[in-house]
Amino acid sequence: MSSLSVRVKVKTYKIASIPGDGIGVEVIDAGLRALHALAERAGTFQFDVTHFDWGTDRYKREGALMPADGAQDLIDFDAILFGAVGAPDVPDHLTLWGLRLNICQPLDQYANVRPTRILPGIKSPLAGVTDKDLDWVIVRENSEGEYSGQGGRSHRGQPHEVATDMAVFTRTGVERIIRFAFELAQSRPRKKLTIVTKSNAQRHGMVLWDDVAREVAADFPDVTWDKMLVDAMTVRMVMQPQSLDTIVATNLHADVLSDLAAALSGSIGVAPTANLNPGRTTPSMFEPIHGSAFDITGKGIANPVGTFWSAAMLLEHIGEADAAAQLMRAIESVTANQDLHTPDLGGDATTEKVTKALIAHIQGSND
C-alpha cells in the first residue's frame, strides 16, 4: 500500500512582543501562549516572536524607554503585541510619550479600535443591561487632536508661568478617521454611527469635525448617523446603551469614553485595543486597554482576557480569521465560567488558571 503525504505550507508571522511595565509582562506571556496554542492547533501558520525589553526599567538603566529610532526596528514585523506602560516612580507623561505614543505616532497607527460588549458570564454594573443592550465599537483618533504633542511650558516657577497643550485637528486627520468609522459602521449589522465632539465650546477644531462628518456621510447613504456632545454622550452610554453601535471621537474624548465603556461591560480587564495603520504601510499594534496596574503586579491575578481579545484582533488583522474566531469562542467559554473570573470580575482565579483553561479549550476544541 502506498502512502500519500500532503505537504502543508506553514506561514510564519513575525510578531514584535513589547510587554512593557507592570502586569503587561504577565498578560503578554499569557497572550503569546494562547497564540502559539492556536498556531499549533491550526498547523498552517506559526509565529516568530521577537521580544523587546522596552519600558520603564530600560528608562531607569539607559535614560530612554526605547531606542531613539526604535519605531524603525518594528517596521518589518507583521504585528506588534503590546502590554502596558506606566510606573509609580516615573511621571506618567514621560512613560506614555516615551513608549506607547512613541510607537503609535511614527508608525501612523491612526485608528484606535476598541470593541466593547458584555461577554458571557460577566455582569454589567448597569441593572438589567445584557449583551443584547451593549455591543459597541469605539474608534479613537490616534494620531493628533489633544495628543498632537504640540505645546510647551515656560517661565517656570514664576507667577506668570505658562503651559499649553495644543489640540491640533487637520482635515486629513479628521477625514481619514471619520471615513474609517463610517466604513466600520457600514460593516456591522446595525449600520449606525455616532460622532462625538464638543463643538459647542471648542469652536474651531470640533466644528471642523462636524463639517467633515457631514461631507463624508454623503458617501455612506446606508449608514444612519448622529452627533453627540461628549458630556451628553456619557449620560447616553449609561442610560440608553442600546441606542449606540459604532462611535467615533477624538483622541482624548475616546480615551475617556472607552474606559467608561469598559467599566460598563464589567471590567477594564477584559477590554481590547487595536492601534491600526489601515493602509498597512506599517505594522499595527494590539494591546489590552488597561495600564500597568502596579497595585497587583507580581501577584499573578491580572486578567489576561483583554490581551486574549487583543490577540484575536491581531489574528483577524493578519488574515487568520478562523483562528481569531476560535480564540473568541475560547474567551467566551472562559468568561462563562465563574470559577475562571479574576478578582477584577469578583472572582479569585489566577492569570495562570485562566490561561491554562483557555489553552485547554483551544487544544480540545473540535472547530
Chain residues binding ligand GGG by CB under 6 A are 84-86, 96, 100, 255, 287-291
Give phi and psi for 83, each to the nearest 5.
-95, -90
Amino acid at 59: Y
- The nearest distance, CB 320 to ligand GGG, in angstroms, is 22
| Distance in angstroms (rounded) separating the CA atoms of residues 210 and 226 | 10
- The nearest distance, CB 313 to ligand GGG, in angstroms, is 13
For ligand GGG, which is the closer residue by CB, 85 or 301? 85
Neighbours of 94 (CB within 10 A): 15
Q: On the CB side of 192, how many CA atoms lie within 13 Å of its CA? A: 9
For ligand GGG, which is the closer residue by CB, 223 or 230? 230
Nearest alpha-carbon partner for 13 in 320, 304, 355: 320
**Active-site residue flag, 133:** no
For ligand GGG, which is the closer residue by CB, 140 or 176? 140
Contact between 36 and 312 under an 8 Å Cβ cutoff? The reply is no
Which member of 78, 198, 245, 344 is catalytic? 198
- The nearest distance, CB 363 to ligand GGG, in angstroms, is 28
- The nearest distance, CB 308 to ligand GGG, in angstroms, is 14
For ligand GGG, which is the closer residue by CB, 20 or 205? 20
- Bridge partners, residue 288, by sequence: 272
Contact between 186 and 220 under an 8 Å Cβ cutoff? The reply is yes
**Active-site residue flag, 13:** no
Which member of 73, 165, 210, 259 is catalytic? 259
Q: Which residue is nearest to ligand GGG (CB)?
A: 84
- The nearest distance, CB 260 to ligand GGG, in angstroms, is 14
Provide the grid cell at 295: 497595585
**Active-site residue flag, 69:** no
Which member of 59, 147, 245, 344 is catalytic? 147
Q: Which residue shows C-alpha cell 475560547?
A: 330
Nearest alpha-carbon partner for 42 in 331, 326, 334, 333: 326
| Distance in angstroms (rounded) separating the CA atoms of residues 41 and 61 | 40
For ligand GGG, which is the closer residue by CB, 81 or 301? 81
Q: On the CB side of 288, how many CA atoms lie within 13 Å of its CA? A: 34
For ligand GGG, which is the closer residue by CB, 205 or 272? 272
Which member of 231, 322, 339, 348 is catalytic? 231
- The nearest distance, CB 329 to ligand GGG, in angstroms, is 24
Give phi and psi for 70, each to the nearest 5.
-60, -35
- Bridge partners, residue 284, by sequence: 79
Residues annotated as catalytic are 147, 198, 231, 255, 259
